[in-house]
C-alpha cells in the first residue's frame, strides 16, 4: 500500500445552503443513489412512521405504519437500489419494500430449511439487490451460521461460522447483488471483509486513515480513524462527520463530502445548539446531502438521543435525474 501522503484536496466551505428539514429525529439512511429515510423513533412500532425522500423527484412519502429499517448491526446495509429491509410488527415480519412503488416485494420467511436442517427466526441484517443476509442460531448456540436468502426465487444457502471466518481470511465474501451469489474479493486494507459494506464497488474503500484507491492503496483524502464509524461510502463519493466517540477531543464543526472522480472536498458547517459541541454525520444521494446534528443527550457527555436533520443540494454540475 502506498504510504505517500496526497496533496490536500481544495475544500469549499458551505458550498450550498444547509436547510433545516426536521427539528427532531433519531436516524437517517440513504441508498447512496436516490432515496433517503429519516426515522423518528427507535421503537418504530409506536411512533411516527419514517419519512422517505425521493431526491430525484422531490416527493416525500412514509414507510408503512408499524414498520422500520432493521438496523440491527452497525454498518449493515438496509437500503439498496431503491429498496428497504424492514421489520414490521403485528405480526412480526421482515419484508423487502420498494420505495418508489410503495409496495412490499417479498415477505421473508421466519423458518428456513436448508439441507434438512431447520433454522428458526433468522435475524435479517443486510440487503442486496437480490439476496438478504441473516444471522441464524443452532442448537446450543446463540448464533453460529449465516443465512443467504434470494428473495426473488426463494433459494436459501447457509454458511457455518468456521466457513465464514475462512472467507474473511481470504478477503472474500458473497455478492448479494448478483444471481448465483458469486464470491468477490475486497480491497486489501479495507476495514470490513464481508457484506456489511460492499467495498469492491465502487473502486475505493475506507481504511488506513481515510479513503483509498483499490488498485494501489493510494490515500485520496485523510480523516480520523474514529470517524470511520460515520463514513458513508457510495458510488457517488464519501460523506463523513464527527463521531460520538470523538467528542472526547475537540470535535470538528463540519460534515464533509469528497468526490473521488473530481478530487474535490466540500464541507458544511453545522449549526450549533447553545454551548453544545458540534456533532454530526451525513449521508448522500446523487442529488442531496442529509446531515444530522446533535440536539439532546441522555446526560452530560452521553450519547445523543435525538437529532436535527438538515439537507443541502449536492454541489457541482447537476445530475440530469435531479428534478427537484
Residues facing residue 97 across a β-bridge = 84, 104
Are 278 and 261 in contact, with CB atoms under 8 Å apart?
Answer: no
| DSSP character string of 167-224 | HHHTTEEE-TTSTT--EEEPPTT-S--STTS-TTSSSEEE-SSEEEETTT--EEEE--
SS3 content of the chain, % helix, strand, coil (to 5): 5, 45, 50
- SS3 for 229? helix
Confidence of residue 162 (pLDDT cuts 50, 70, 90): confident
Cα separation, 239 vs 233, whole angstroms: 7
**Residue from 296, 314, 317 nearest 305 by CA:** 296
Task: Give the three cell numbers for residue 134.
Answer: 441473516
End-to-end CA distance of the chain: 42
- Of the ranges 196-200, 216-220, 229-233, 236-240, which one carries the lowest mean pLDDT score? 196-200
Task: State the chain's mean pLDDT as an integer.
Answer: 79
Cα separation, 324 vs 308, whole angstroms: 22
The more confident residue out of 300 and 137 is 137
pTM: 0.85
Tell me which DSSP letter residue 3 carries: -
Task: Give the three cell numbers for residue 294.
Answer: 446533535
Average pLDDT over every residue of 220-227: 70
The more confident residue out of 245 and 115 is 115
At 250-297, the pLDDT tens digits run 556 788 898 888 888 898 988 765 545 556 788 899 999 999 887 555
**Residue from 303, 269, 261 nearest 289 by CA:** 269
Confidence of residue 95 (pLDDT cuts 50, 70, 90): very high
Instruction: Give whole-number Cα distances, 234 to 125, 138, 209, 213, in Å.
Output: 19, 35, 18, 14
At 234-252, the pLDDT tens digits run 878 888 876 554 445 555 6
Amino acid at each position: 500500500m502506498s504510504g505517500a501522503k496526497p496533496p490536500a484536496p481544495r475544500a469549499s466551505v458551505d458550498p450550498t445552503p444547509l436547510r433545516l428539514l426536521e427539528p427532531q429525529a433519531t436516524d437517517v439512511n440513504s441508498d447512496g443513489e436516490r432515496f433517503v429515510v429519516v426515522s423518528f423513533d427507535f421503537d418504530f412500532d409506536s411512533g411516527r412512521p419514517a419519512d422517505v425522500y425521493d431526491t430525484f423527484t422531490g416527493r416525500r412519502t412514509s414507510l408503512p405504519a408499524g414498520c422500520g429499517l432493521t438496523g440491527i448491526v452497525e454498518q449493515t446495509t438496509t437500503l439498496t437500489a431503491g429498496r428497504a429491509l424492514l421489520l414490521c410488527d403485528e405480526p412480526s415480519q421482515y419484508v423487502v419494500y420498494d420505495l418508489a412503488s410503495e409496495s412490499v416485494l417479498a415477505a421473508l420467511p421466519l423458518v428456513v430449511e436448508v439441507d434438512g436442517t431447520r433454522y428458526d427466526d433468522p435475524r435479517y441484517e443486510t440487503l442486496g439487490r437480490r439476496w438478504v443476509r441473516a444471522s441464524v442460531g443452532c442448537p446450543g448456540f446463540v448464533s453460529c451460521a449465516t443465512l443467504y436468502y434470494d428473495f426473488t426465487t426463494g433459494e436459501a444457502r447457509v454458511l457455518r461460522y468456521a466457513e465464514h471466518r475462512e472467507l474473511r481470511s481470504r478477503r472474500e465474501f458473497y455478492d448479494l447483488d448478483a444471481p448465483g451469489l458469486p464470491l468477490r474479493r475486497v480491497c486489501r486494507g479495507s476495514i470490513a471483509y464481508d457484506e456489511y459494506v460492499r467495498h469492491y464497488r465502487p473502486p475505493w474503500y475506507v481504511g488506513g486513515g481515510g479513503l483509498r484507491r483499490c488498485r494501489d492503496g493510494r490515500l485520496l483524502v485523510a480523516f480520523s480513524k474514529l470517524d470511520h464509524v460515520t463514513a458513508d461510502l457510495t458510488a457517488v463519493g464519501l460523506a463523513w462527520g464527527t463521531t460520538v466517540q470523538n467528542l472526547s477531543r475537540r470535535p470538528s464543526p463540519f460534515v464533509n463530502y469528497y468526490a473521488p472522480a473530481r478530487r474535490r472536498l466540500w464541507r458544511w458547517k453545522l449549526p450549533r445548539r447553545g454551548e453544545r459541541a458540534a456533532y454530526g454525520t451525513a449521508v448522500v444521494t446523487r442529488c442531496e446531502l442529509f446531515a444530522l446534528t446533535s440536539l439532546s443527550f441522555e446526560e452530560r457527555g452521553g450519547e445523543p438521543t435525538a437529532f436535527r436533520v438538515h439537507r443541502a443540494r449536492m454541489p457541482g454540475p447537476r445530475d440530469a435525474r435531479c428534478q427537484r
